[in-house]
Amino acid sequence: MTSLSTSDTSVVQKQDIEWNAINFKVGNKVILNDVWGKVSSGQVCAIMGPSGSGKSSLLNVLAGRSAPTITNKISGNIMVDNKPINPVDYRKNIAYVMQDDALMATSTPREALQFSAALRLPKGTPLKVINELVETTLSELGLTECADVLIGGALIKGISGGQRKRTSVGVEIITKPSLLFLDEPTSGLDSFSAYNCINLLKKLAGNNATVLCTIHQPSSEVFFLFDTCMFLKDGLVCYHGPVKGIAEHFSSKGITTTHQLTYLLTHLLANSSRLRMPS
C-alpha cells in the first residue's frame, strides 16, 4: 500500500459522542452490560476485546443499526454534543464501515466511490467536484493502481482483500463524515497496510472527525496511534481511557507485565471480570 496523504481532506464539523448505561440483551443473554464511553472530535478510539465480547454489538447499538424488538432489549443514553439522540433516527449521520462489506462484485473501486458520492453528497454537487473527490480518495487510500479493476466476489476474481477493505472505507469517507464507525477495518490487512489504514483515520480525526473502530490484535505501532481505547470483556467495560494510561491503570490493580497489551488481551480479559471499570 502506498503512503497515505490527506492534505486536501477538508475539515468537518466537530461532533462529540458520549454514551452511558447501554444494556443489550437477547432473550436472557446479556450482550452489553452498563457500557459507557466517550469519543471527542479529533480522536480515534479503538474498541478491543476477545471474540464475542460485544464490540460489534456496541458499534451497532451506537450507530442505530440494532433496534429494540420483542426479544432484543436495548436501553441506555447516547448523546451527540451533549444532546440526547435516538440512534435509529440519527443513523444517517453516522458513516459505518461494516465487518463484511456490501460491495458490488461487478463494479470497480472508482465506480463504487463515484456511486456513493453521487448518491450521498448534497443534490446538485457538480460532477467535476465529485470526480475530483473520487480521485483524491482513491489516492489517499492507495487504490489508484487498481481503480479500474473489478472488485470481484465468490465467482469473479477481483481486487485483493486489502484493496477491498480500503474500498469499503473509501465509500464511507468520501462524504467527509463527522462521525465514522468502522468494524475491524484492519482485518485481513498486512501490518504495513493496517498501520496506514489507522494512520489515515488519525488524519481524518485531525480534520475534526470523530472515529470509533473495533480492532483485533493490533501491533504496538498501530495500537499507539489510537488516542483512546476501550477493552470489553463479556459486554463489560474493563478499561476506557487514553492508550497511554493503560499501564498505570492496570498496575494500580496490581497487574504489571512487560508484555502489557498482548498479555491483557490474551490472558486477563479472557479469564477475569474483576477488572470491570465503574462508569
Ligand X SMILES: Nc1ncnc2c1ncn2[C@@H]1O[C@H](COP(=O)(O)OP(=O)(O)OP(=O)(O)O)[C@@H](O)[C@H]1O
* Contact set with ligand X (CB under 6 A): 26, 29, 31, 49, 51-57
Nearer to Mg ion, 59 or 268 (CB): 59
| Minimum distance of ligand X from residue 254's CB (angstroms) | 27
| Minimum distance of ligand X from residue 23's CB (angstroms) | 13
Nearer to ligand X, 29 or 274 (CB): 29
How many CB atoms neighbour CB 143 within 10 A?
25
From the list ligand X, Mg ion, none, partner contacted by residue 245 (C-beta under 5 to 8 A by kind):
none
Nearer to ligand X, 52 or 245 (CB): 52
**Largest pairwise CA distance in the chain:** 59
- Going through 88-221 in order, the beta strands assigned E by DSSP cover 94-97, 179-183, 210-214
| Minimum distance of ligand X from residue 49's CB (angstroms) | 6
Q: What is the DSSP letter of 157?
A: -
Residue labelled with grid coordinates 503512503: 3
Q: Which residues bind Mg ion (CB under 5 A)?
A: 55-56
Query: Residue 211 carries which side chain, given as an amino acid letter?
Result: V
3-state helix, strand and coil shares in percent for the chain, rounded to the nearest 5 = 35, 25, 40
From the list Mg ion, ligand X, none, partner contacted by residue 54 (C-beta under 5 to 8 A by kind):
ligand X
Nearer to Mg ion, 55 or 202 (CB): 55
Which of these, 180, 165, 182, 223, lies nearest to 199 by C-alpha position?
A: 223
| Minimum distance of ligand X from residue 47's CB (angstroms) | 8
From the list Mg ion, ligand X, none, partner contacted by residue 53 (C-beta under 5 to 8 A by kind):
ligand X
| Minimum distance of Mg ion from residue 101's CB (angstroms) | 14
Residue labelled with grid coordinates 483524491: 136
**DSSP secondary structure, 44-108, as one string:** EEEEE-STTSSHHHHHHHHTT-S---SSEEEEEEEEETTEE--HHHHGGGEEEE-SS----TTS-
From the list Mg ion, ligand X, none, partner contacted by residue 51 (C-beta under 5 to 8 A by kind):
ligand X
From the list ligand X, Mg ion, none, partner contacted by residue 3 (C-beta under 5 to 8 A by kind):
none
Nearer to Mg ion, 107 or 187 (CB): 187
